[in-house]
Amino acid sequence: MKLPFVQPKMMGDMIRRQIRAVLYRDSVSTTAELAQSTGISFPTISKTLDEMNDQGEVVLTGLGASSGGRRPKQYRLNADHMTGLAVALEKDYSSYAVLNYVGEVIGREKLPGVLHDGPERLTEQIATFVQRYPHLRALTLGVPGAVNNGRVFHIPDYEKFKNLDFKGLYEERFSLRVQAENDMNATVLGYHDRSGDDQNRSLVYLYLGQNGPGAGIMVNGDVVRGSSFFSGEVSFLPLYDSRNFFQAVQELSSAQNGKERRAKLIDAMSRLVAVFTATLNPHSVLFCSTDLTERDLADVRKGSASYVPADNLPSLLVRDWEEDYFHGLNQLTIRTMLGLGID
């Protein structure tokens, strides 16, 4: 059988990506350690490192310990080689984080929200960072809506952004590597990375949010986006005879007192957990700490157990949504800079 021809440039790019991944993970490595970690020959790694060093992508940090012969050279990624910008678009604000090539946050700023203003205002904000950071090469946008290959096609209440191709617009406008991601997909990815959770675990991350309820779903370490990238839009789930989940959440504000509101919230969340238990059967369901407290979890579990057998229920956890979300956006930005993809 004739094997497909792999162009030398493609092979070289693949080798560089593997080197970047190891150096990002381990911070510092020798040529021999990189060869062992990647399975690529020592001469090829050595030659590629020399090229990356000449181009300023990696730097020689010193010499490692000797095992009897010449002390090996140690390399790390050059933190100043490239920067990336992670943007969280929220109802009342836009949060910006600037990261260097080793993933450190070197700048953070919160600016007025742009979702009601439109893309022109967002472009103005991004332009200020492009001017301020000449080595900016990657841009990640977290969007409260359904996104398909950089285009948002479902973003309730923000008509000015509906069907906007973030990727096409900003790659052409600023010559950056651009990705746009649903906010809850970024959040579940951020939690997974921060927690060091087992790669084979399934997770559901629920958030009521300023822009309506949403969920991030992960199976075997991969974010589930669905056949039309509509996965996680839990607002539409018909959990009641005449109401969907979003309508049930909206009714919470009309509750006569805090006790009634809490009872309705617990009931809605219990039904949602039961739905995911009976369909996905995840290992864990995560809630935002602004939606539920640790005390609420026992009542949600009890409520869910009235719909599905308790032995099948997932573990229930309360998380800091903002920290997980921003970490996910940062990780997506770092992977873009390193050329490692987004999953």
With the CA atoms of 118, 322, 157 and 223 taken in that order, what torsion angle do they form, in degrees rounded to the nearest 10?
A: 100
Label residues 86-111 b or e (16+ Cβ within 10 Å = b). Answer: bbbbbeeebbbbbbbbbbeeeeeeee
User: Integer distance in angstroms from the first to the last C-alpha of the chain?
Assistant: 32
pTM over 0.95: no
What pLDDT score does 210 carry? 82
Per-residue pLDDT of the chain (343 residues; tens, 9 = 90+): 444 444 566 788 999 999 999 999 999 999 999 999 999 999 999 999 999 999 999 999 976 565 555 678 899 999 999 999 999 999 999 999 999 999 999 999 999 999 999 999 999 999 999 999 999 999 999 999 999 999 999 998 899 999 999 999 999 999 999 999 999 999 999 999 998 766 678 999 999 988 889 999 999 889 999 999 999 999 999 999 999 999 998 888 777 788 989 999 999 999 999 999 999 999 999 999 999 999 999 999 999 999 999 999 999 999 999 999 999 999 999 999 999 875 4
Q: What are phi and psi of 270, to 5 degrees?
A: -65, -45
Structure tokens at 156: 């309730």
Label residues 146-177 b or e (16+ Cβ within 10 Å = b). Answer: bbbebbbeebeebeebeebbbbebbbeebebb
DSSP state letter for 1: -
What pLDDT score does 258 carry? 87
